[in-house]
Structure 1
Amino acid sequence: MNAKEIRKLFPILNQEVNGHPLVYLDSAATSQKPLAVIEAVKHYYEWDNANVHRGVHTLGSRATDAYEGAREKVKRFLNARNTEEIIFTRGTTTALNLVASSYARSVCREGDEIVITLMEHHSNLIPWQQVAKATGATLKYIPLQQDGIITLADAENTITDRTKVVAVAYVSNVMGVVHPVKELAAIAHRHGAVMVVDGAQSTPHMKVDVQDLDCDFYALSGHKMCAPTGIGALYGKKELLEKMEPIEFGGEMIDFVDLYDSSWKELPWKFEGGTPIIAGAVGLGAAIDFLEDIGMDNIHEHEEKLSAYAMNVLPVMEGLTIYGPASGKRPGLVTFNLEDVHPHDLATFLDAEGIAVRAGHHCCQPLMRWLKASSTARASFYLYNTEEDIDRLAESLRRTKEYFSDAIG
């Protein structure tokens, strides 16, 4: 199935925006949803809607089967060892905050270290800032090379025996860099630290094997991989999760409640207090089925071809600056600025021609300062995009440049 055929499976893409056929180039912010996912959520609400785990009636049993079936699909998708290692969350941000609040605050002390990079999304930066403030640990950054990559030599020099946590995005949401997380995990483990992976931008686009990576925690968001908003997951090694305390308390996650003390359920439910995101989990399971039917390797190859095509077409434009490595394969995104045009103005002009891109600091303000840019524009591709979409982007960028050149002149 090619991208044009896949595109037809996404109802939202079959529309015009401002009189032009929609070109959606903002999948790094959120992906669109195929009909299979929409129908799965609709079916749940029409036929199976009930709370899980608690009821013995038929609807409750079907809802529980669907919810726990989705957990099994996430486990298989990530190649985790068992379903106890999969915690449903609201998304990557919630998952990373769970690790920071429950694990890191319990192991970090004054003088310990938490190591991240300058290009982390705020959701993989601010939680570690808060842990450092609360515990007295030091937040350290692996330095970036001129093209925005990190080297293993710099990682070796940054990670020490005082390091307790290394937390890095598998794929940068701005620079288009794929970090060597497997090698970083090996370095972290040699020093007795755990490896936390922000998988928000990797999970939708490539095959992920948490056992092969040997990461200790891995966070993902469903809405970036064709699933509904508000659902995500945290993978954690069982031996670590068992030692961690929950950070949300109430129904569903308890075993026994007395007047002055309570005990928790076993994994994974001790971290899922309250009524869970059942419909979201059903949608996530359907999204995994959809992606696996197409093939993660096929998706990854398609996006690399699109990025290579974009890197051939866009840099020829005078005044266009592209951020990130100029050579090598990159995932499906290109971040850029057009000389003398603010990214927000650029995005507004593109939107007038039916092209959706992201403009702003992309929740990476420290990285923007390193780039000496207040904000950038970003075009991100997914399985439903084509080379024709990139051609439309290039043509519109040329018209944007001409328009603002005439206005300035």
Structure 2
Amino acid sequence: MSVAVHTSPLDVVGVDGFVHLDYAATAPCVRAAADAVNALLPYYGSVHRGTGLRSQTSTLEYERARDVVAGFLGARDGDHVVFTRNTTDALNLLARAVPAGTRTVVFESEHHATLLPWADPVRLPAPASADEAVAAASSALRVLRGPKLLAVTGASNVTGEILPIRRLAEAAHRHGARIVVDAAQLAPHVPISLADLDADYVALSGHKLYAPFGAGVLAGRSDWLDAAQPYLAGGGASAAVGAGDVRWATGPARHEGGTPNLLGAVALAAVCTALADAGRSTSDEQELLAHLRAGLRSIPGAVEVSLFGPRSPRVGIVSLALAGHDPARVADRLAVEHGVGVRAGQFCAHPLVRHLTGRAGVAACGDTPGLLRASFGLGTTTDHLDRFLSGLAACLTVPARRRPAARSTD
């Protein structure tokens, strides 16, 4: 295999000959991110901690990256942009920062990053429609007292369906609650704006947004973050340390203790700039999605699953229940026999996958109730999708060659 040569900032850095359709897990790096990292490496140094050329350059680039990400996310005056490791880290940070006694409302259909961090959450059943999601969240928030937070995904990492974030934000605010949006799957596909969505917080991962260098973001209202104890106690988060007391930093630095991930932040900002410069049209992706879904309808035994039905708006993610087949074995065959990488398992959304497989009427085949997921983005072509479709059809009709049993992934 030879490494492909690229020239555009949004060209995928990839390997020729293998089709990657697992963007929802980790998107490939694009040239803008790789170039930004390579350009900064000669100047790489400590951030906020030195006067030399390396430190000054690194500090400037780190804070410039924060400004770029703030603009990409439509941050308002006074919002903080805190760099984290990923979406899970960002949501755990917020869970640590909410006022004492805050009740969080969350759907069972969430990714574990959104489902699990909260103390004493109110868990709602997976909604069957966008209207039901808004009604259920509104009913739950109406009866709660004290600080309240609605935690919701922007787009499902299992079905790709887009939730009605603006309507959910209106419902939350009507009942005196705040809303945090897990935008890990939404941000790579459509524009995200805190101001336009009227969301209080948004969290995302660089590795889903074509910048797989270990950076994530929590962006949103500053008051809860400024009032909270630092997420990581240590250098950078501390402004002054005495014999028995500490004065903590204010602003984003309060929650960015230790040496920050400069290269991750700069790579993420470079992708944000490239995406903004290129425009955020979704028409090409929707054409690819329609092509994929049409092809799947002709493959017996492959049943697309969804929460809201086949006509609900969605991004480039499709999950399938496979009657009589273990999705992990099918995924293994797709990789080995057809050179196509997809994902099988429960996708860190176990309650949702159990719900969807039950609704699809497909019994578990293998160790766990799992699905097969194909997800795509920049660099994906109809040829890639056709290769997946033909490979899947073959896997569901042609017996596998004898190999060690595959295992379902999380």
Q: TM-score, normalised by structure 1?
A: 0.88
> CA, structure 1 residues 102+8, in 2 after alignment: closer, same or farther (shift >3 Å)?
closer
**Equivalent in 40, 47, 50 of residue 55 of structure 1:** 50
Q: Give the deviation of 1:310 after TM superposition.
A: 1.2
Deviations 1:61-84 (A, max 9, x none): 111111111001100000102475
88-97 or 280-289: bigger deviation: 280-289
1:202 corresponds to which residue?
186
**Equivalent in 74, 77, 80 of residue 79 of structure 1:** 74
1:120 corresponds to which residue?
110
Q: Percent identity?
A: 35
1:25 corresponds to which residue?
21
2:394 corresponds to which residue?
399
Q: How does 1:4-403 map to 2 (within 5 A)?
A: 9-12=11-14, 14-15=15-16, 21-45=17-41, 47-82=42-77, 85-103=80-98, 106-108=100-102, 113-128=103-118, 131-132=119-120, 138-145=121-128, 150-162=132-144, 164-296=148-280, 298=281, 300-324=282-306, 325-352=309-336, 353-371=338-356, 372=358, 374-403=369-398
Q: Give the deviation of 1:406 after TM superposition.
A: 11
Q: Give the deviation of 1:6 after TM superposition.
A: 6.4
What is the identity, as a one-letter code, of the residue corresponding to 1:32? P
The separation in 1 between residues aligned to 2:244 and 2:301, in whole angstroms, is 67
Point out where structure 1 has 5 or more consecutive residues left out of the alignment.
Answer: 16-20, 133-137
What is the identity, as a one-letter code, of the residue corresponding to 2:395? T
RMSD: 2.2
Q: Give the deviation of 1:168 after TM superposition.
A: 0.4
The separation in 1 between residues aligned to 2:321 and 2:400, in whole angstroms, is 15
The separation in 2 between residues aligned to 1:150 and 1:231, in whole angstroms, is 34
196-205 or 233-242: bigger deviation: 233-242
1:135 corresponds to which residue?
none
Check conservation: 1:6, 1:383, Cα contact below 8 A. no
Secondary structure, in 3 states, of the residue corresponding to 1:160? helix
Q: Give the deviation of 1:405 after TM superposition.
A: 9.1
Check conservation: 1:75, 1:82, Cα contact below 8 A. no
The separation in 1 between residues aligned to 2:131 and 2:106, in whole angstroms, is 13
Deviations 1:346-392 (A, max 9, x none): 10111021101011100011112212351111000102111121111
> CA, structure 1 residues 8+230, in 2 after alignment: closer, same or farther (shift >3 Å)?
closer
2:407 corresponds to which residue?
none
The separation in 1 between residues aligned to 2:194 and 2:284, in whole angstroms, is 23
> CA, structure 1 residues 11+405, in 2 after alignment: closer, same or farther (shift >3 Å)?
closer
The separation in 2 between residues aligned to 1:319 and 1:378, in whole angstroms, is 14
What is the identity, as a one-letter code, of the residue corresponding to 1:243? A
Check conservation: 2:86, 2:214, Cα contact below 8 A. yes
> CA, structure 1 residues 173+261, in 2 after alignment: closer, same or farther (shift >3 Å)?
same
The separation in 1 between residues aligned to 2:319 and 2:59, in whole angstroms, is 42
Q: TM-score, normalised by structure 2?
A: 0.88
The separation in 2 between residues aligned to 1:303 and 1:390, in whole angstroms, is 12
The separation in 2 between residues aligned to 1:341 and 1:7, in whole angstroms, is 40
Secondary structure, in 3 states, of the residue corresponding to 2:344? strand
Aligned length: 382
Deviations 1:298-324 (A, max 9, x none): 2x2222221111111111211111011
Check conservation: 2:124, 2:136, Cα contact below 8 A. no
Bigger share in helix: 1
The separation in 2 between residues aligned to 1:123 and 1:257, in whole angstroms, is 33
Secondary structure, in 3 states, of the residue corresponding to 2:374? strand
Q: Give the deviation of 1:194 after TM superposition.
A: 1.3
Check conservation: 2:126, 2:352, Cα contact below 8 A. no
Q: Give the deviation of 1:169 after TM superposition.
A: 0.4
The separation in 2 between residues aligned to 1:406 and 1:279, in whole angstroms, is 44
Q: Give the deviation of 1:102 after TM superposition.
A: 1.9
